[in-house]
């Protein structure tokens, strides 16, 4: 994509050297090669830069909720367990937990999570459900109960009607809910302020990687993501909100929010934890 002079993007990137360079490289290489989103680039992204302290903090936060009363745990959208397993390893009450339920619609990720559970928590009974929150919530029986449900960066991936209906249903089956999401700025998609904010955030992300890793992460992940977020035609694959909106929506569903706090700075937006009682 050639950047047109005089556009909001052109003025937004004027003082952002890393993003300007990465966009130029992308415009040149995209004509000749197929350097699009690659698993290697995503791996390098997620295992480096600000993701490392972010996930350390998220796992520590989750672990702090595994108390002597947490006998059953439900992880909604667990992915490969990147947040969950370090949290389980760090809990101060390793003997208390008696069962773990994983809800994850992406089969490959669920398979990885189950393998990791077998390797790291061999004594813990695991129920692995290859489905999304909506299908899971629709099948809940009156006696289904968990002491704690957690979801880290997963509820944003669920379309709103499915998400809110699922969380409403879950309230009868879960004592406590812990969610971690990003407290995104309240900007209108496509506005000049949005473009400027997006550009500044991606400049910061690029600065968290160096050398060949920066090029890989930029060309294979961050720049395709950035351009997708600028393009009005790209269909949304996640639905985020400022933290205050999460609180309001959950309270409207009857959840009692007992804590809402930023826990980690991050290029995209600060991560927050929200704790709610049923």
Ligand X SMILES: C[S@@+](CC[C@H](N)C(=O)[O-])C[C@H]1O[C@@H](n2cnc3c(N)ncnc32)[C@H](O)[C@@H]1O
Q: Would you tell me which residues interact with ligand X (CB under 6 A)?
A: 76-79, 82-83, 103-106, 109, 132-133, 152-154, 157-158, 162
Q: Quick one: which of 273, 267, 252 has its CA closest to 207? A: 267
Phi and psi angles of residue 79, each rounded to the nearest 5 degrees, phi first: 60, -140
Q: Please state the closest distance from residue 87 (CB atom) to ligand X, in A.
A: 10
Question: Can you tell me the distance from the alpha carbon of 81 to that of 108, in angstroms, rounded to the nearest whole number?
Answer: 12
Q: Please state the closest distance from residue 104 (CB atom) to ligand X, in A.
A: 6
Q: Please state the closest distance from residue 162 (CB atom) to ligand X, in A.
A: 6
End-to-end CA distance of the chain: 48
Q: Please state the closest distance from residue 116 (CB atom) to ligand X, in A.
A: 12
- Nearer Cβ to ligand X, position 8 or 184? 184
- Nearer Cβ to ligand X, position 167 or 230? 167
Question: Can you tell me the distance from the alpha carbon of 266 to that of 278, in angstroms, rounded to the nearest whole number?
Answer: 29
Q: Are 252 and 244 in contact (CB under 8 A)?
A: no
Tokens standing for residue 117: 């559970």
Find tokens 């490969």 and name the residue.
80
Show Cβ contacts of residue 22 under 8 Å, excluding neighbours closer than 6 positions: 206, 218, 219, 222, 223
- Nearer Cβ to ligand X, position 23 or 158? 158
How long a stretch of residues is the chain? 278
- Nearer Cβ to ligand X, position 154 or 216? 154
Q: Please state the closest distance from residue 2 (CB atom) to ligand X, in A.
A: 31
Q: Are 169 and 137 in contact (CB under 8 A)?
A: yes
Tokens standing for residue 263: 């826990």
- Nearer Cβ to ligand X, position 26 or 65? 65
- Nearer Cβ to ligand X, position 12 or 246? 246
- Nearer Cβ to ligand X, position 133 or 223? 133
Q: Please state the closest distance from residue 241 (CB atom) to ligand X, in A.
A: 15
Q: Please state the closest distance from residue 161 (CB atom) to ligand X, in A.
A: 11
Question: What 3 state SS string does 202-265 have?
Answer: HHHHHHCCCHHHHHHHHHHHHHHHHHHHHCCCCCCCCCCCCHHHHHHHHHHCCCEEEEEEEEEC
């Amino acid at each position: 994509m050639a950047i047109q002079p005089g556009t909001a993007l052109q003025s937004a990137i004027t003082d952002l050297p890393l993003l300007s360079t990465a966009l130029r490289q992308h415009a040149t290489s995209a004509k000749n090669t197929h350097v699009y989103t690659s698993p290697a680039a995503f791996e390098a992204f997620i295992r480096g830069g600000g993701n490392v302290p972010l996930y350390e903090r998220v796992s520590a936060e989750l672990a702090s909720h595994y108390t002597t009363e947490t006998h059953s745990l439900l992880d909604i959208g667990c992915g490969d367990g990147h947040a969950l397993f370090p949290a389980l390893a760090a809990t101060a009450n390793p003997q208390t937990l008696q069962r773990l339920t994983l809800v994850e619609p992406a089969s490959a990720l669920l398979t990885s999570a189950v393998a990791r559970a077998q390797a790291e928590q061999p004594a813990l009974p695991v129920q692995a459900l290859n489905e999304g929150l909506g299908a899971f919530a629709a099948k809940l029986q009156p006696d289904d109960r968990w002491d704690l449900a957690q979801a880290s960066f997963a509820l944003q991936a669920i379309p709103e009607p499915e998400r809110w209906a699922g969380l409403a249903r879950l309230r009868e089956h879960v004592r406590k809910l812990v969610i971690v999401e990003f407290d995104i700025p309240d900007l209108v998609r496509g506005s000049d302020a949005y473009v400027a904010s997006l550009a500044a955030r991606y400049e910061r992300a690029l600065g968290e990687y160096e050398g060949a890793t920066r090029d890989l992460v930029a060309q294979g992940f961050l720049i395709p993501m950035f351009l997708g977020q600028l393009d009005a035609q790209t269909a949304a694959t996640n639905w985020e909100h400022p933290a205050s909106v999460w609180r309001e929506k959950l309270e409207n569903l009857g959840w009692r929010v007992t804590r809402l706090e930023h826990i980690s700075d991050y290029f995209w937006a600060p991560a927050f934890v929200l704790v709610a009682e049923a």
